[in-house]
Structure 1
Amino acid sequence: MTSKILCPTDGSDHATTGVLLAAEFAKATGAHLTICAVNIAHGGMRGPTISHWRPEEVQKLLADAEALAKAEGATDVGTLEVVAREAAPAIIAYAEQNGYTHIVMGTGDKRGLQRLVLGSVAGEVASRAHCTVTIAR
């Protein structure tokens, strides 16, 4: 049974599709929905760690996604920022460590060589997560 839904977003159109679907699932099941932004960290070791997004960018991205989810009828919605070097392992680890029962995320329409070369966060999450994963297009 779905009781906690995690929905990663980066603010893209594909991610917005995931937020809309996650909100629909949350509304239908009464599940808690957490929208997260994985802020990729670069650097470190000998220099400072630099996050991809500035704090105000993360706040706006999450506020926009939360407002969208609530407009779709989800009532129990929270947000969070996860800072990590790679998105997929961070999403998987956070979901497992915090008892999420469902991950919903959007993905682009990558096919063939482009998908092979670029990889797919959604594909990695779907293949490695401990819980149900729904990929929205």
Structure 2
Amino acid sequence: MYQSILVPVDGSRHAEHALKVAAQLARGTSATLHLMTVAEFPPDNLGLFTGGTPEPFTEEDREKLAAGMKEEAQKAIDKARAAVDLADIEVEEVVRQGRPAELIVKEAEALGVDAIVMGSRGVSDVSGMVFGSVSHKVSHTADCTVITVT
């Protein structure tokens, strides 16, 4: 049924549960799993986020922050892989930087996946309640099957 499954992970418990479900689906169909994580863009002005005065970032500061965010994103993939038995499953990894919902849908289209399996809530539960969850946005914009796991 499935040849290719995209599994966005963010280090959350829900993402690990989603990967377990995706692994079961992959084993049953010999599908390839594409583990993806998204490092969001570094903020333009950290001072505003911390309650301080606006301090402009230099390009060097932004690059250092972006590199750190990508490193943390890779740790989310490593954590998910450690939590789930992926033996005998073909697994590919991708780290992107930007807006998670948009990039997940874009990556699914680029890969031509049959399904996206993702957690219903991620590490940013509070912002999800205010701005709408990533899984909600993906489920309404993706052209493939989207399975959300709690």
TM-score of Structure 1 vs Structure 2, range by shorter chain: 0.7 to 0.9
Identity over aligned residues, as a percent? Answer: 32
SS in 1 for 2:41: strand
* Corresponding residue for residue 52 of structure 2: none
Q: Are the equivalent residues in 2 in contact too, given 1:42–1:52 (CA < 8 A)? A: no
Which amino acid counterpart does residue 23 of structure 2 have in structure 1? Answer: A
Equivalenced residue count is 131
Task: Find the aligned partners of 2:135 and 2:7 in 1 and give their Cα distance.
Answer: 11
Consecutive unaligned residues in structure 1, runs of 5 or more? none
Q: CA deviation at 1:115?
A: 6.1
Which amino acid counterpart does residue 128 of structure 1 have in structure 2? Answer: T
Report the structure, 1 or 2, having the larger helix content.
2
Report the structure, 1 or 2, having the larger strand content.
1
46-55 or 60-69, larger mean C-alpha shift: 46-55
Consecutive unaligned residues in structure 2, runs of 5 or more? 45-56
Tell me: CA distance 1:136–1:52, structure 2 relative to 1, closer, same or farther (3 Å).
farther
Q: Are the equivalent residues in 2 in contact too, given 1:23–1:74 (CA < 8 A)? A: no
Q: Which has the larger radius of gyration?
A: 2
Answer yes or no: is 1:96 the counterpart of 2:109: yes
Q: CA deviation at 1:74?
A: 5.3
TM-score (normalizing by structure 2): 0.75
Q: Are the equivalent residues in 2 in contact too, given 1:104–1:136 (CA < 8 A)? A: yes
TM-score (normalizing by structure 1): 0.81
What root-mean-square deviation, in Å, do the aligned CA atoms of Structure 1 and Structure 2 show? Answer: 2.6
Q: Are the equivalent residues in 2 in contact too, given 1:35–1:62 (CA < 8 A)? A: yes
* Corresponding residue for residue 51 of structure 1: 66
Q: Are the equivalent residues in 2 in contact too, given 1:8–1:36 (CA < 8 A)? A: yes
